[in-house]
């Protein structure tokens, strides 16, 4: 019941409750009124009949003693004229009816008349009269069913000895139709009840009108205001005068609206527009955009903002965001500036084409990148921006936001600290990325991945000591896709974890295959991603694969890039140590391109340092590359690490690396990555196969 009522508006519930209460009260009052009226009728008519019986008893005895009953007969005839008088009998001591208003019963035995007239009361009446013969007294009462008034009075008939005996006692019997009287008065009772109900209805209407005026209207005002607020309209005000509870609530709502306007419209941290406000404002401007208007949306974020939080703490990050937002607000003179969240900001400008977007954004980025003083620290940052430009009304906020976000993404891929304007070329790249992403989700189950292997040579023995397993993808729906295109997508989508596990299994199976064919001293290097390392059960997964597939854990080497290792150094070091405990050797790949901390590097259980190809490609001509490569080799040697030079493509590079005591090399100078069958042939006679390559 409660659920039903609270599901309805109060303006419906209140009248409903009033009406239900009215019905209940009316029914109860009608019942009480009727019963009271009937009790009054019973009492009044019983008194009359009892009084009449007493008078008639005296009169009957008097005239019977005088020997004249004519007057009694006339009196009974007069009383019988009353339509509700059922029967009046004067019964002699012998039980014979001597006087009756109904002539047919005259001289009949009273029992015969009782059966016909009294009906269901016959048995009780008979017993009552028998008792009265022994103990004569007047009885006047209402029947149990409240339908009859029955009065019986003893009449003393004269006898020779003048004594009272059962043999000389007769009876006066009167039965009055109380039910008929009630029916006669029922109309009067109904009229009274209708009058009372009318008064109650008038009272109910008055209460409802009072409710409607003082309560329902006020509730409706509050309700309409709340509806407007729920639609996002905060330009409303509840105007209720008075000191009642509704006026207090109205005042609270008005106060909340004022506060909501501030919190909904402005970012709590920086004080500039938040996403809600900037989105609504831009949508409004775009709706009213003219044909010659140019709409420019710039999506900008702070590069490596996480490092600020990690290095200085989140409170410093908040200070930086506040200063950055203030600086951004100051440099954007004509436009809308807002914060999406985190370190992401939006700038919207509308012009007619006179603004030099590239030059303006370049100037802004330069000003935004100037040093920031955070308490006692001075830090420098860079920003990356994505830009979407549309003309006239042919644009939509969400489309522009998506395009600028995509442009920002490509700016981050280019190395950050740049701005990219979204164009058809980026659209095509993004469409390709989305298509590749969709295809990659099913590539593993379709068995579209395969591995190729590139040999790694020892510069002293001039023999192959290891091979690197490299992932390849051949889709039936698209032409050849280079790893540089699809591996980043695997990393973005998280598919790299599942695919990485498959690579480990395939590499270990290949080790086992070669081991059976007698190639027992060639290890296989497998690249692992940071997402795999951070998996809680990664070490257990590797252990299970190695124990069930690989004949010797030392034949499996795992490579992780320097930049990936430095993202979560403590977790990476802990996991690498566990892997090293399994007998697996670790390599740091692309060394020199990241920002390694030597304190972390010395704690890592590393066996090999792979020098990135960017340092090798210009050897030995480039002086800086010569110095850096030699320094890396010397540093690694001092740490006890072996070095592997990647991307060796010329004889001059090979000679230089040999002169500066690099341990191992790999690259196209010797061999491009090959399928396992071709690599297997080379492994069986690698010295003769590459003999001409070693003639320096």
565-614 residue pLDDT tens: 777 788 888 999 999 999 999 998 888 765 555 666 778 889 999 999 98
Q: What is the pLDDT of residue 77?
A: 78
For residue 691, what is the DSSP state?
G
Q: pLDDT class for 296, splitting at 50, 70, 90?
A: very high
Most distant CA pair in the chain: distance in Å?
Answer: 176
Q: What is the pLDDT of residue 654?
A: 93
Query: CA-CA-CA-CA torsion for 209, 215, 220, 222, nearest 10 degrees?
Result: 170
- For the cut 70, the answer to whether the pLDDT of residue 559 exceeds it is yes
Phi, psi for residue 515 in degrees, rounded to 5: -60, -40
| Count of CA atoms in the C-beta half-sphere (13 A) of 444 | 13
Helix boundaries (H) for 494-537:
495-516, 530-533
C-alpha distance from residue 61 to each of 64, 189, 443, 495, 693 (Å): 5, 40, 125, 122, 161
Mean pLDDT computed over 140-169: 76
Q: What is the mean pLDDT of the chain?
A: 83
Mean pLDDT computed over 648-654: 94
Reduce the DSSP state of residue 678 to 3 states and report it. Answer: helix
Phi, psi for residue 99 in degrees, rounded to 5: -135, 135
Q: What is the pLDDT of residues 301-350, one digit of tens each?
A: 998 888 788 777 888 888 889 999 999 999 998 889 999 988 999 999 99
C-alpha distance from residue 231 to each of 9, 225, 236, 273 (Å): 20, 10, 11, 19
Q: What is the pLDDT of residue 8?
A: 56
Q: How far apart are CA 572 and CA 567, in angstroms?
A: 9
Q: What is the pLDDT of residue 348?
A: 94
Q: What is the pLDDT of residues 202-238, one digit of tens each?
A: 777 776 666 666 666 667 777 777 777 677 666 677 7
Highest mean pLDDT out of 158-172, 293-307, 498-512: 498-512
Q: pLDDT class for 5, splitting at 50, 70, 90?
A: very low
Determine what percent of the chain is predicted with pLDDT higher than 90: 29
Query: CA-CA-CA-CA torsion for 588, 589, 591, 593, nearest 10 degrees?
Result: -130
Worst-scoring range by mean pLDDT, 108-112, 367-371, 452-456?
Answer: 108-112
The residue assigned the tokens 């509050």 is 222
**CA angle at 567 for the pair 602 and 528, rounded to the nearest 5°:** 85
Q: Does residue 614 contact residue 649 with C-beta atoms inside 8 Å?
A: no
Q: What is the pLDDT of residue 12?
A: 63
Residues whose CB is less than 8 angstroms from the CB of residue 487 and which lie 6 or more positions away in sequence, other chains included: 471, 496
Q: How far apart are CA 439 and CA 476, in angstroms?
A: 10
Q: pLDDT class for 161, splitting at 50, 70, 90?
A: low
Q: What is the pLDDT of residue 190?
A: 73
Q: What is the pLDDT of residue 629?
A: 92
Q: What is the pLDDT of residue 71?
A: 75
Q: Does residue 164 contact residue 136 with C-beta atoms inside 8 Å?
A: yes
Tokens at residue 47, please? 């008194």
Query: CA-CA-CA-CA torsion for 258, 260, 263, 264, nearest 10 degrees?
Result: -120
Residues whose CB is less than 8 angstroms from the CB of residue 316 and which lie 6 or more positions away in sequence, other chains included: 308, 309, 374, 375, 377
* Distance of alpha carbon 357 from the chain centroid: 42
Nearest to 90 by CA among 56, 124, 120, 65: 56
Tokens at residue 439, please? 């295809």
For residue 409, what is the DSSP state?
H
Tokens at residue 503, please? 């690579």
Q: What is the pLDDT of residues 415-474, one digit of tens each?
A: 788 899 998 888 888 888 888 889 888 888 889 999 999 999 999 998 999 999 999 999
Positive or negative: CA dihedral 303, 309, 314, 317: negative
Segment (H or E) for 387 = strand 383-391
Please state at what angle helix 357-368 crosses helix 314-331, rounded to 10 degrees. 140
Higher pLDDT, 640 or 119: 640
- Report CA Rg, the chain: 55
* Distance of alpha carbon 511 from the chain centroid: 51
The predicted model scores a pTM of 0.58
Question: How many residues make up the chain in this entry?
Answer: 696
Highest mean pLDDT out of 39-48, 412-421, 499-508, 528-537: 499-508
Tokens at residue 198, please? 């009318």
Reduce the DSSP state of residue 193 to 3 states and report it. Answer: helix
Positive or negative: CA dihedral 372, 374, 377, 379: negative
Q: How far apart are CA 166 and CA 9, in angstroms?
A: 79
CB atoms within 10 A of CB 390: 19
Q: How far apart are CA 597 and CA 578, in angstroms?
A: 21
Is 255 exposed, middle or buried, given 0-12, 13-18 or 19+ CB atoms closer than 10 A? exposed
Worst-scoring range by mean pLDDT, 212-226, 476-490, 680-694?
Answer: 212-226
**CA angle at 424 for the pair 421 and 425, rounded to the nearest 5°:** 85
Q: How far apart are CA 75 and CA 69, in angstroms?
A: 10
Tokens at residue 84, please? 């509700």
Buried b vs exposed e over 471-492: b needs ≥16 C-beta within 10 Å?
bbbebeeeeebeeeebbebbbe
Worst-scoring range by mean pLDDT, 58-72, 265-279, 360-374, 427-441?
Answer: 58-72
Is 22 exposed, middle or buried, given 0-12, 13-18 or 19+ CB atoms closer than 10 A? middle
CB atoms within 10 A of CB 248: 12
Highest mean pLDDT out of 50-59, 284-293, 441-450: 441-450
Tokens at residue 376, please? 């006692």
CB atoms within 10 A of CB 259: 9
């Amino acid at each position: 019941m409660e659920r039903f009522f609270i599901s309805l508006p109060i303006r419906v519930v209140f009248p409903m409750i009033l009406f239900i209460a009215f019905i209940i009260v009316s029914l109860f009052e009608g019942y009480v009124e009727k019963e009271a009226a009937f009790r009054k009728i019973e009492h009044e008519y019983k008194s009359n009949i009892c009084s009449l019986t007493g008078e008639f008893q005296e009169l009957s005895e008097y005239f019977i003693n005088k020997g004249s009953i004519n007057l009694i007969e006339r009196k009974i005839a007069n009383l019988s004229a009353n339509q509700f008088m059922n029967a009046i009998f004067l019964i002699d001591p012998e039980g014979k009816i001597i006087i009756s208003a109904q002539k047919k019963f005259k001289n009949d035995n009273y029992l015969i008349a009782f059966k016909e007239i009294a009906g269901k009361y016959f048995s009780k009446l008979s017993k009552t009269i028998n008792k009265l013969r022994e103990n004569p007294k007047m009885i006047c009462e209402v029947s149990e069913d409240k339908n009859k008034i029955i009065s019986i009075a003893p009449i003393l008939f004269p006898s020779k000895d003048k004594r009272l005996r059962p043999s000389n006692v007769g009876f006066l019997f009167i039965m009055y139709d109380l039910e008929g009287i009630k029916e006669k008065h029922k109309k009067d009772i109904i009229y009274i009840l209708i009058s009372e109900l009318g008064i109650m209805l008038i009272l109910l209407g008055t209460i409802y009108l009072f409710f409607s005026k003082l309560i329902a209207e006020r509730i409706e005002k509050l309700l309409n205001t709340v509806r407007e607020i729920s639609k996002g309209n905060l330009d409303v005000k509840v105007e209720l005068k008075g000191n009642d509870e509704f006026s207090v609530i109205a005042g609270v709502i008005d106060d909340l609206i004022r506060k909501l306007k501030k919190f909904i419209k402005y970012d709590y941290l920086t004080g500039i527009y938040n996403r809600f406000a900037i989105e609504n404002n831009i949508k409004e401007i775009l709706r009213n955009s003219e044909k010659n208007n140019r709409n420019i949306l710039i999506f900008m974020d702070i590069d490596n903002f996480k490092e600020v939080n990690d290095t200085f703490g989140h409170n410093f990050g908040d200070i930086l965001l506040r200063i950055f937002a203030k600086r951004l607000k100051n440099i954007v003179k004509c436009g809308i500036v807002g914060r999406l969240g985190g370190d992401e900001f939006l700038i919207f400008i509308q012009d007619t084409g006179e603004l030099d977007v590239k030059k303006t954004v370049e100037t802004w980025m330069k000003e935004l990148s100037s040093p920031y003083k955070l308490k006692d620290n001075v830090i420098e940052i860079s920003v990356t921006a994505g830009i979407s430009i549309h003309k006239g009304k042919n644009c939509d906020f969400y489309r522009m936001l998506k395009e600028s976000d995509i442009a920002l993404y490509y700016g981050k891929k280019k190395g950050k600290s740049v701005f990219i304007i979204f164009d058809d070329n980026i659209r095509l790249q993004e469409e390709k990325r989305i298509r590749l992403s969709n295809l990659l989700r099913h590539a593993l189950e379709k068995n579209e991945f395969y591995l190729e292997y590139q040999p790694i040579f020892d510069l002293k023995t001039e023999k192959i000591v290891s091979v690197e397993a490299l992932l390849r993808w051949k889709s039936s729906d698209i032409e050849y896709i280079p790893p540089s295109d699809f591996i980043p997508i695997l990393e973005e989508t998280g598919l790299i974890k599942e695919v990485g596990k498959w690579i480990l299994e395939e590499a270990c199976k290949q080790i086992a295959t070669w081991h059976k064919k007698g190639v027992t001293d060639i290890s296989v290097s497998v690249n692992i991603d940071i997402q795999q390392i951070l998996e809680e059960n990664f070490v257990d997964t590797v252990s299970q694969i190695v124990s069930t597939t690989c004949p010797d854990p030392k034949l499996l080497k795992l490579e992780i890039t320097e930049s990936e290792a430095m993202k979560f150094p403590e977790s990476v070091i802990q996991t690498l140590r566990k892997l090293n405990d399994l007998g697996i050797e670790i390599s740091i790949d692309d060394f020199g391109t990241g920002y390694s901390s030597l304190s972390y590097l010395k704690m890592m259980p590393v066996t090999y340092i792979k020098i990135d190809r960017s340092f090798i490609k210009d050897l030995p001509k480039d002086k800086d590359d010569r110095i850096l490569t030699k320094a890396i080799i010397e540093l690694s040697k001092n740490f006890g690490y072996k070095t592997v030079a990647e991307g060796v493509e010329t004889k001059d590079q090979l000679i230089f690396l040999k002169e500066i005591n690099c341990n191992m090399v790999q690259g196209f100078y010797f061999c491009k990555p090959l399928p396992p069958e071709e690599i297997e042939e080379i492994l069986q006679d690698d010295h003769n196969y590459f003999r001409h390559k070693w003639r320096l």
